[in-house]
Amino acid sequence: MAKLSSVSLFKNIKALIGVSRQEIVQTVNSKMVETYYKVGGLIIEFEQQGETRAKYAASTLKDLSVKLTKEFGKGFSVDNLENMRKFYMAYKISETLSRKSSSKNLIQKSETLSRKFNFKLSWSHYLLLLRIENEAERRFYEIEAVNENWSVREFKRQYDSALYERLVLSRNKKKINELSKKGHVIESATDAIKDPYILEFLTLHEHETYSESDLETAIISKLEDFLKELGKGFLFVGRQYRITFEEDHYHIDLVFYHRILRCFILIDLKIGELKHKDIGQMQMYVNYFDEEVKEAGETKTIGIILCKNKKESIVKYTLPKSNNQIFASKYKTYLPEKSELKLLMEPEIVYSVKEKK
């Protein structure tokens, strides 16, 4: 057995302590969130005093804030206590605390209720979640933040880009319900596609003059952000992927592999309006990959034409109704307001409703 050098010893101990500290932080964060939940429950119980509707008094939190801050320091401002109260209301179980319960029983009951939840995010994450009034939407973002290990910054970015709305608008009722129960589940090509894609991180101004090559270069320079926007399962393969047949050379802008769907995904970038020839070209790329690149056991190749503008009629009359391989999606180089985003997607809503009848 090889001797362990002092350098290796240091590295091993350093790694061990690093992992241990990370686990300690996660445990502390989890316990803090659970405690805040219990505090919110006790505040609600005090306010309700056994009544169905709370008789809420702001003076309660002001007095409580002063006492708790004096005893424990920061973290118990009136605003944060109000957030704890809202946190409990948002996640409470339909089980009321008894009016006659003692203080000890109240704590035990609150602890029993909190155990039914497994709070896996930081308090900062939950503060963002509390801003979301729609319960189904809130559950979706909570599931995705946990599953995808979103930082607070990434969570805010996904919410600001209206990820939930973009996914909802491309799904039927059953798939919409799944979003709030399972998060973003990818089982087919349509599950992996968004429309539009929000590329504000490229810092390309909406009315700025740039070429398709500039767009591609910007994406490659921010590849990590682009992969996050594409969604789960995407692995980068290459850019300007060359294919050749009958001595003619063609270049596919971006090639990815989807580890969940087990297929190649080709992306062609268009800075102008989508043309029918663009769809035909993508069809040729997809056919080539299916015939020459795809291995046995892998699923059919998917092609996405990412364009600044598109007309649904061009897509509708160019592609067959049975199409499940070629998709055209718009992109935006700025972060639009949610109301604006919904207006941008109205033509697609009308079209998809017609198709589902």
Question: Nearest-CA neighbor of 302 among 287, 315, 313?
Answer: 287
Which pLDDT value is given to residue 143? Answer: 93
Structure tokens at 127: 């503060």
Residue % of the chain over a pLDDT of 90: 41
How many domains would you assign to the chain? Answer: 2
- pLDDT reported for residue 239: 95
Residue 151 in any domain: the answer is: no
Helix axes 135-147, 152-160, angle to 10 degrees: 140
The mean pLDDT value for 177-202 works out to 89
264 within domain boundaries: yes
- Quick one: pLDDT at residue 312? 82
Residue 96 sits in which domain range?
10-120
Question: Based on the domain organization, do 303 and 201 belong to the same domain?
Answer: yes
In the prediction, which pLDDT does 205 show?
Answer: 76
Q: pLDDT category, 281, cuts 50, 70, 90?
A: very high
CA distance 333 to 207: 9
Q: CATH no. for residue 206?
A: 3.40.1350.10
Whether 101 shows a pLDDT value over 60: the answer reads no
Q: pTM for this structure?
A: 0.76
Q: What is the pLDDT of residue 303?
A: 96
1 assigned to some structural domain:
no
pLDDT-based confidence at 229, cuts 50/70/90?
Answer: very high
- The more confident residue out of 318 and 158 is 158
Question: Is the domain of 195 the same as that of 322?
Answer: yes
Which pLDDT score is estimated for 296? 93
Q: Please enumerate in sequence order all residues whose Cβ is within 8 A of that of 76, keeping only pairs 6 or more positions apart, or say none.
A: 64, 65, 68, 69
More confident residue, 103 or 185: 185
Residue 197 and residue 107 in one domain: no
The residues near 155 (Cβ < 8 Å, ≥ 6 apart) are 125, 128, 141, 145
- H-helix or E-strand containing 253? strand 248-258
42 within 8 A of 107, measured Cβ to Cβ: yes
